[in-house]
Amino acid sequence: MDYKETLNFLFESTPMFQQVGKDAYKPGLYNTHALDTLLGHPHKYFRTIHVGGTNGKGSCSHTLAAILQAAGYQVGLYTSPHLIDFCERIRINGIPIEQEYVVKFVEEYKNDFMPLHPSFFELTTAMAFRYFADKKVDVAIIEVGLGGRLDCTNIIKPDLSIITNISLDHTQFLGTSLENIAYEKAGIIKHNIPTVIGESLPETRNVFLQKAIKEEAPIVFADEKPIITTARLSKQWIYQTTLYGELIGELSGFCQEKNSNTILHAVNQLLISGKFNISLEAIQKGFSQVCELTGLMGRWQQLNEYPRILCDTGHNIGGISYIVQQLSQERYANLHIVIGMVDDKDINGVLALLPKEAKYYFTKASVKRALNENELATLASKHQLIGDTFSNVEQAVKEAVKKSLPEDLIFVGGSTFIVADLLANSYTFNFH
């Protein structure tokens, strides 16, 4: 098989949550342990940092990876989903896994793993661990896929666990209350392993605290001990920190203020452990060059100047709240919003937050979970959001550009997969 044939095999032979949603979800770690045994327990050959939470996992994971990379470490980074190509999920020092490795891995092990009927994520996680071991990384940043307690990444014993925040998302799997979701996320807190909680709520703080007490795990609530003050410029943050002086943050989304506080507490815990040597220069470089060092995309990313075209992968109430706040402080003549969602989110909750004065372009992403654009427009009309419908992201964005003045702002989002379609096809858009 070549690379394309291998990806087709993975997508079609193993249930993929990105495409089919709940039918791909396999709670429990039986398959994970079986795959781990098959591959020789590769996760035991490198240090790890485990990052869970509802929102901000990607930004925190990539920034920590950038800092450690700048500190001279060989850094693996495992995140999901991918935006353009599968290989984005598995990186070392920002460089995606080689297509040849993906092909070879599947060819070598498919006869062994197929009887297990693993999910796409179970198999991809096993591949990432084997790849990091083969390439002898020093440390890998491992992003939780879904939840924590039963997530297949949860076989690692990390040097540090991070839970960014808790919001209502994936409620059909994790529970319908913040306490239920926090319980699942808290599953990555392990015996005697330090844990940083980025943002706690009255409903979640005690859940984390009780789990930490049970596991005898040191725990830090980052939001109770802020170590930064901030000033925002047009395309970046300036952080004044109590421990690391002034830092320039490349990621400019409003959510990055809390993410950065979480990251700095995490760095502090790594330094306290004595297992990592991280200089001030490495921290500065990691914050200011995270996209270049790691390949991060889709976080309040600007694609065009006139009109301004921005995209962001925020896709639930917690993420959209930050986006709406940020849009309210941008300057523009007219606001255009290209939006699509998947059918397992709190769609009405998100639509209720969106600005009513914008011109909307309702569309759908090229995944099976995508909500039909006409159904989305019907729901949106109940929230006084008015616009036209388009069968794909490319058509919607081209129409938004056509209808925009140079001083207008076009925002594209609502789903990670809307942003993925945008970035995958942005080279075909005639923005100018």
Asked, for residue 268, whether it belongs to a domain, the answer is yes
Same domain, 176 and 319: no
What CA–CA distance (Å, rounded) separates 90 from 101?
A: 11
Q: What percent of the chain has pLDDT over 90?
A: 76
Asked, for residue 375, whether it belongs to a domain, the answer is yes
Same domain, 319 and 266: no
Q: What is the mean pLDDT of residues 17-32?
A: 60
Same domain, 102 and 212: yes
| CA 318 remoteness from chain centre | 13
CATH code at 167?
Answer: 3.40.1190.10
Same domain, 109 and 249: yes
Of 294, 311, 346, which residue is a domain's last? Answer: 294
Same domain, 206 and 317: no
Asked, for residue 383, whether it belongs to a domain, the answer is yes
What pLDDT does 174 receive?
65
Same domain, 286 and 309: no
| Bridge partners for 47 per DSSP | 139
Q: What would the pLDDT profile of 354-401 be if each residue is shown by its tens digit?
A: 999 999 999 999 988 899 999 999 999 999 999 999 999 999 999 999
What pLDDT does 17 receive?
39
pLDDT bin (cut points 50, 70, 90) of residue 18 is: very low
Q: How many domains does the chain have?
A: 2
Of 294, 318, 340, which residue is a domain's last? Answer: 294
CATH code at 400?
Answer: 3.90.190.20
Domain ranges, residue 406: 301-427
Asked, for residue 187, whether it belongs to a domain, the answer is yes
pLDDT bin (cut points 50, 70, 90) of residue 57 is: very high
Same domain, 262 and 350: no
pLDDT bin (cut points 50, 70, 90) of residue 281 is: very high
Same domain, 231 and 129: yes
Q: Residues of 61-93 as b/e, b for ≥16 C-beta within 10 angstroms?
A: bbbbbbbbbbbebbbbbbbbbbbeebbbbbbbb
Same domain, 345 and 286: no
Same domain, 228 and 337: no
Average pLDDT over the chain, rounded to an integer = 91
Q: What would the pLDDT profile of 170-192 be if each residue is shown by its tens digit?
A: 555 565 688 988 999 999 999 99
Of 263, 294, 325, which residue is a domain's last? Answer: 294
Asked, for residue 432, whether it belongs to a domain, the answer is no
| CA 30 remoteness from chain centre | 25
Residue 305 in tokens: 């100047």
Asked, for residue 160, whether it belongs to a domain, the answer is yes
Same domain, 311 and 228: no
Same domain, 283 and 214: yes
